[in-house]
Amino acid sequence: MFAMFATLMLELVMFVPAMAYAETPRDSYQVAQDKYQTYTNRVEDAKKTYQDSRESFLDAKDRFNDVRSRENIVTLKQSTKDYLNHTIDYTMRRLESLKIRAEIAEENGYAPFTASENVQGYIDDLEDLRDDVAAAETREDFQAVI
């Protein structure tokens, strides 16, 4: 009887800490929510930068249409590159946020396929466009990136 009681106590001592530190569904939801919120904040920051660069691009385009000078051409090229890079950043941040949501669904068994891998492929494609933007010099180069 004593041996059985001692064995039971030993087993309880081994499993109680594991049960006490086990993550509850509420805890895992909160961790996922915090991670998603972090990416949402990054999306908002990228959106603001994107909007600012868009305004700068439109201003440079208007100046170029008014006066076609060498200085305005250089300004327009740089504004176009900035605008495209910020568009890529913004899109990537939105995709990263979507990827987080897909990973959460996959971890909980709600996704019928691994959507996060597909989203990562799109992110990689956008990352590859950065080199094309940096190398773009002519209107045709910019249109190819777009």
pLDDT, tens digit (0-9, with 9 covering 90-100), for 8-53: 455 545 544 444 444 566 666 677 777 777 777 888 888 888 899 8
Domain contains 74: yes
pTM exceeds 0.85: no
Buried-exposed string 47-81: b where 16+ CB fall within 10 A, e elsewhere = eebbeebbebbeebbebbeeeeeeebeebbbebbb
Domain contains 5: no
Residue 52 is part of which domain span?
A: 30-145
pLDDT score of 102 more than 90: no
Question: What's the domain count of the chain?
Answer: 1
The predicted-structure confidence for 49-95, as pLDDT tens digits, reads as follows 889 988 998 999 898 888 888 998 999 999 999 999 999 999 999 88
Domain contains 119: yes
Domain contains 7: no
